Amino acid sequence: MAVRDVAVGQDGAIIISTESGSVWNRIRRPMSKVSRGRGEKEFKFARVGTLTRVVAVRANSAGAYAAIRNDVESKAIEVEKSTLEDDLIHSIPLGEVADSLVGQRGNMVHSSHTEDDFEVPNEYCVRRPSDASWKALFEDLPPASDSCDIALVGREGIRLYAHRAILVCRSTSFRDFLETPSSTKFKISTADDMLEVSFEYGVVAIAQLLHYLYTDRIMALPEDGENHKSERLEMIVQLQSLATIFGLNQLADVLGSSSYIMLTPQPTLRKNLKALQGLSTSVAEPDAILCLADREVRCHSFILAARCPFFKAMLDSAGMGGGWLASRRRVALEEGTNEFRVQLKHLSYHTMSLALEHIYCDAEAEVFDSVQKCDVDEFLESVIEVLAVANELLLDRLKDVCQSILTGFGRVIVVFWLTAVTLRNVATVLEEADTYAAEQLKNACLDYCALNAEALLENRQVVFSSTLTVGS
C-alpha cells in the first residue's frame, strides 16, 4: 500500500494514511506468535475501522491520534427565484396591468432619452401605443376579488381595489388613522360594504402608490418623449405627495431627483410583512384561523391564497365548484364574523410558524435562525419537519431552502460546529428525501453514498426500509 502521510506518537507509536484514504496504526504482535521463532516481526499494522477518505494524520506525545478527512462536496441546491412581489400584486386587479407589461427596460426608451438617462426599478413596459394616455391603462380593470376590502379612489372616480392589511402594515400613518378615526388626514367613506379612501390626485399616481405598496417597485409606464413629459412630471409630484401622506419615506426620498431619473427605493416589504401578524387585529383584520395541534393561529386568507397553491385551491371561490370553504365563509358571515377555520390538527405550531414566516415574508434559510436545539440531530429533525410541511402545502421554494440546508455535506453548522449530514445519518436523510419528493436532496445523498460506499458498507450503515429508495 502507498503511504500518503505518517505521524509518530508516544513510545514510537506510528500511524499512517494511504493514498486510498485508509488509516493504519502500528501495534505489537501477541508474544505467543513472536516466541515461535519463525521470523515474525514484533510489530504489525492494523487498519483503523470507519475511517475513509483521510488525507493526513497527526499524533502527539500524549498518545492521541487525529485523522483529517476530506469529505464530499455536494452540489449546490438550486433555490427557486423569489416570487413574493409578483404573488402579492396579482392578488388585486392592478396585477392585470402588470401582466400586460412585457419586454425589457430598454424597449421603453424613446425620442431623445437614452437608456443611461432613464433608470427604473421595474423591467416592464406596456404592449400598447406609447403615446396613449397613462390613465387609459387603469380604466378597464377587472372587478375586485372577494378578498379585497378597501378601494382607493382618485379624482377621476376610478376605484383601485386593495387589501387593508397591506396598507396597514406598510403605512404607519394609515394604521394610526384607523386606530384614531377622528383624524382628518384621510377622507374615508363606505360604499357597497367596502371602505373607500378618496384623494384629489390622478389615478396614475394612486396606481403607482399601490404597486409600490405591494412590490417595493414603481411601474415603468410606456413613454413617448415630449408627449408624456408633463404627465410624468405631474405623476411624480402627486406620488411624492401621496408618499408623504402615507409616511413612506423610502419612496418619497427617491422621487425628488428629477422627472426622468428615479432610483430604486430601499426595500421594506419583507420587513413590514413579517410584522403583519403581530399587529392589532382591529386594524389588520385576519380572516382565517388555522387550527393546529397545539394552538390556533390567525392569518390573512389573501396572503395564504396568493403565496401557497394549497390554500389557493382551498380558498379559490371561482374554482373547485365554488371553493372548499365557501360554506364555512357563509356560516361565519351569518354569525356576524368574517373569520373561518381551517383544520390542520396534524401540524404543530412550531413547524407551521416557520412555514408561515416563509409565506408572509419569503424568508429563506434565516427562517431557521430562531430554531434552538440541543444538538445537530434535533436541528436536522426540525428541518425535515418543515420539509414535510412544505411538501404538503406545495411550497416548492421552501422545499428548496430545506434541501439546501440538509445538503451541507462537510459544511459546518455554526450553531453546533458540526457537519449537517454525515456517514452516520445520510441514510436517514435519504429516506426522508424520498418520502417527501425532495429530488435534489435525494440525488445529492445518492452521490454522497456512492462516493463513500466503502465506509458505509464497512460500518453496515446502508440500511434502508424503503425499497423505492434502494431501487432508485
Do the domain assignments include residue 329? no
Classify strands 23-28 and 14-18 as parallel, antiparallel or unpaired. antiparallel
Q: What's the pLDDT score for residue 153?
A: 94
- DSSP class of residue 308? -
Q: What is the pLDDT of residues 41-80, one digit of tens each?
A: 778 888 888 788 888 999 988 888 899 888 777 777 899 9
Strand pairing partners for 65? Answer: 59
Do the domain assignments include residue 303? no
Which of 219, 251, 273 is where one domain is finished? 273
- The cell numbers describing 36, all together, are 515461535
Do the domain assignments include residue 325? no
Do the domain assignments include residue 439? yes
What is the C-alpha to C-alpha distance for residues 251 and 276, in angstroms, rounded to an integer?
20
Averaged pLDDT, groups of 10, the chain, 472 residues long: 86 86 83 57 81 88 86 80 94 85 41 39 44 78 84 92 94 89 82 88 93 91 72 88 93 72 83 88 84 94 94 72 64 76 93 96 89 80 94 96 80 52 82 92 88 76 53 47
Check whether residue 151 and residue 175 sit in a common domain.
yes
- The cell numbers describing 41, all together, are 516481526
What is the C-alpha to C-alpha distance for residues 88 and 210, in angstroms, rounded to an integer?
11
Do the domain assignments include residue 291? no
Residues 6 or more apart from 290 whose CB is under 8 A from it? 296, 297, 298, 299, 341, 342, 344, 352
- Whole-model pTM: value is 0.80
Check whether residue 125 and residue 52 sit in a common domain.
no
Do the domain assignments include residue 339? no
Check whether residue 46 and residue 98 sit in a common domain.
no
What length is written for the chain?
A: 472
Check whether residue 112 and residue 229 sit in a common domain.
yes
Residues 6 or more apart from 49 whose CB is under 8 A from it? 458, 459
Strand pairing partners for 164? Answer: none
What is the C-alpha to C-alpha distance for residues 149 and 191, in angstroms, rounded to an integer?
11
Instruction: Choose among 386, 425, 418: nearest CA to 404.
Output: 386
Check whether residue 55 and residue 199 sit in a common domain.
no
Do the domain assignments include residue 360? no
Check whether residue 62 and residue 126 sit in a common domain.
no
Q: What's the pLDDT score for residue 33?
A: 56
What is the C-alpha to C-alpha distance for residues 84 and 395, in angstroms, rounded to an integer?
12
Number of domains making up the chain: 3
Which of 273, 289, 311 is where one domain is finished? 273
Q: What's the pLDDT score for residue 270?
A: 94
Position 31, amino acid: M
Domain containing 118 equals 84-273
Check whether residue 65 and residue 169 sit in a common domain.
no
Q: Find the CATH number of the domain harbouring 157.
A: 3.30.710.10
Instruction: Choose among 230, 241, 172: nearest CA to 206.
Output: 241
What is the C-alpha to C-alpha distance for residues 204 and 231, in angstroms, rounded to an integer?
9
Check whether residue 33 and residue 124 sit in a common domain.
no
What is the C-alpha to C-alpha distance for residues 105 and 212, in angstroms, rounded to an integer?
18
Check whether residue 34 and residue 118 sit in a common domain.
no
Which of 69, 98, 113 is where one domain is finished? 69
For 218-313, list the strands marked E by DSSP.
288-291, 296-299
Q: What's the pLDDT score for residue 260?
A: 54
For 154-252, list the strands marked E by DSSP.
159-162, 187-191, 194-198
Check whether residue 9 and residue 154 sit in a common domain.
no
Do the domain assignments include residue 96? yes
Check whether residue 401 and residue 428 sit in a common domain.
yes
What is the C-alpha to C-alpha distance for residues 247 and 213, in angstroms, rounded to an integer?
12
Check whether residue 164 and residue 251 sit in a common domain.
yes
